[in-house]
């Protein structure tokens, strides 16, 4: 169900390293979103749900091979306890390089949720039964392998929260971002008008808002064509929508 405008988007982050999130969640946009009551971040240490006397959460892989695998017990118990801490159940996202690639469309979907529970892996990843026995949605932040899901969770939280209505200062700030309408963003300039011989395009100094909008649209389209033609192939219709 769509999130009500005034209700905070709740994140529960399941991790073995909650301490790495502190400054990141406190700073700038994410901290302001929390202060405005638009987002909440709850950290949960998976190790607290281990029943092993040494609080172990990993073990050797059956069949042999390098590294360690995250055990079912602590992850199941952690998820089940956290799930009961609030309503609704929300979306349960397993960060894994094997998942659906996170993109702006998924960030927008997440920003309309009430709650997102993020599961961060470590070591060689998860016992397969975690995928089978829990309602996970597998999400990757790209075709590379991180040593843990924490950096991936931070990327997901950041990209999602800035799309929550009311978080960004300017109403349209996210609307012109890259990917918002299927294009990369147009070039941006600020003062001074000339720096080391490089000048700001005259049209941006003209005060002619229609001409500026046309220039930006053309630049965004051209930049996308040169750098990410794959985006144009899937978004041809939307590229024309603001051309007047």
Give which of 101, 113, 104, 112 is closest to 181, Cα–Cα: 104
101 near ligand SAM, rule: CB under 6 A: no
Please give the Cα distance from 179 to 182 (Å, whole number).
5
Residue placing its CB nearer to ligand SAM in the complex, 126 or 215:
126
What is the SS3 assignment for 100?
strand
As a residue count, the chain comes to 244
CB 86 within 8 A of CB 109: no
Residue from 124, 158, 177, 181 touching ligand SAM (CB under 6 A): that is: 124
Task: Tokens for 104, please give them.
Answer: 């702006």
Residue from 37, 142, 187, 193 touching ligand SAM (CB under 6 A): that is: 142
61 near ligand SAM, rule: CB under 6 A: no
Please give the Cα distance from 84 to 79 (Å, whole number).
9
Q: Which residue is nearest to ligand SAM (CB)?
A: 121
Phi, psi of 83, deg, nearest 5: -55, -40
158 among known catalytic residues = no
162 among known catalytic residues = yes
Residue from 3, 122, 162, 186 touching ligand SAM (CB under 6 A): that is: 122
Residue from 18, 74, 90, 121 touching ligand SAM (CB under 6 A): that is: 121
Give which of 33, 46, 38, 53 is closest to 4, Cα–Cα: 38
149 near ligand SAM, rule: CB under 6 A: yes
Please give the Cα distance from 132 to 158 (Å, whole number).
28
Only one of the segments 6-14, 104-112, 148-156, 236-244 lies at the binding site for ligand SAM (rule: CB under 6 A); that segment is 148-156
So which residues are the catalytic ones? Answer: 97, 124, 162, 177
Binding site for ligand SAM (CB under 6 A): 95-98, 120-122, 124-126, 140-142, 144-149, 152
């Amino acid at each position: 169900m769509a999130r009500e405008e005034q209700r905070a988007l709740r994140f529960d982050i399941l991790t073995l390293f909650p301490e790495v999130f502190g400054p990141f969640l406190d700073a700038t946009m994410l901290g302001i979103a929390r202060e405005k009551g638009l987002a909440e971040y709850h950290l949960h240490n998976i190790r607290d749900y281990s029943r092993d006397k040494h609080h172990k959460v990993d073990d050797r892989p059956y069949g042999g091979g390098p590294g360690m695998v995250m055990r079912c017990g602590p992850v199941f118990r952690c998820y089940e306890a956290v799930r009961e801490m609030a309503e609704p159940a929300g979306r349960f996202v397993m960060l894994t390089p094997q998942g659906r690639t996170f993109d702006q469309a998924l960030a927008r979907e997440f920003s309309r949720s009430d709650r997102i529970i993020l599961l961060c892996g470590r070591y060689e990843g998860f016992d397969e039964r975690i995928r089978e026995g829990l309602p996970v949605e597998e999400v990757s932040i790209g075709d590379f392998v991180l040593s843990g899901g924490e950096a991936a969770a931070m990327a997901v939280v950041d990209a999602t929260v800035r799309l929550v209505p009311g978080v960004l200062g300017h109403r349209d700030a996210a609307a012109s971002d890259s990917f918002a309408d299927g294009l990369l963003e147009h070039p941006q300039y600020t003062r001074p008008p000339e720096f080391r011989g490089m000048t700001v395009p005259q049209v941006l100094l003209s005060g002619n808002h229609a001409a500026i909008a046309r220039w930006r649209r053309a630049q965004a389209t051209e930049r996308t064509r040169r750098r990410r033609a794959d985006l144009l192939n899937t978004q041809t219709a939307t590229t024309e929508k603001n051309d007047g």
